[in-house]
Amino acid sequence: MKIEEENPFFSSYQCFEATVRGERFARKVIRHWFLELVEKDDYPDNNIKERLDQLEESSNTLEAGEKRG
């Protein structure tokens, strides 16, 4: 992953969040890949629903200067 290479001190959660940011992925897709790629030690509170909510919001947030549609 390019993000991992550029940010060797990021956790798998931070890399995943950076990957989905602004990409408008469906929650189902985010959940699938979250469970596949993010190490369980990177979200010690085990509150997956809260993490998925945050990731879904991040995925649907426009980058600065981007226009929808």
Q: Which pLDDT score is estimated for 57?
A: 95
Number of domains comprising the chain: 1
Q: Which pLDDT score is estimated for 63?
A: 57
- Please report whether residue 53 resides in a domain: yes
Q: Which pLDDT score is estimated for 12?
A: 94
Tell me which DSSP letter residue 62 carries.
Answer: P
Question: By residue range, what is the domain housing residue 29?
Answer: 2-59
Q: What predicted TM-score, i.e. pTM, was given to this entire model?
A: 0.80
- Please report whether residue 51 resides in a domain: yes
- Please report whether residue 68 resides in a domain: no
**How high is the mean pLDDT in each 10-residue block of the chain (69 residues)?**
88 94 94 94 83 94 57
Q: Which pLDDT score is estimated for 24?
A: 94
- Please report whether residue 45 resides in a domain: yes
Q: Which pLDDT score is estimated for 18?
A: 94
CA distances to 25, 50, 54, 62, 66 from 12, rounded to whole Å, are 18, 17, 15, 22, 26
- Please report whether residue 14 resides in a domain: yes
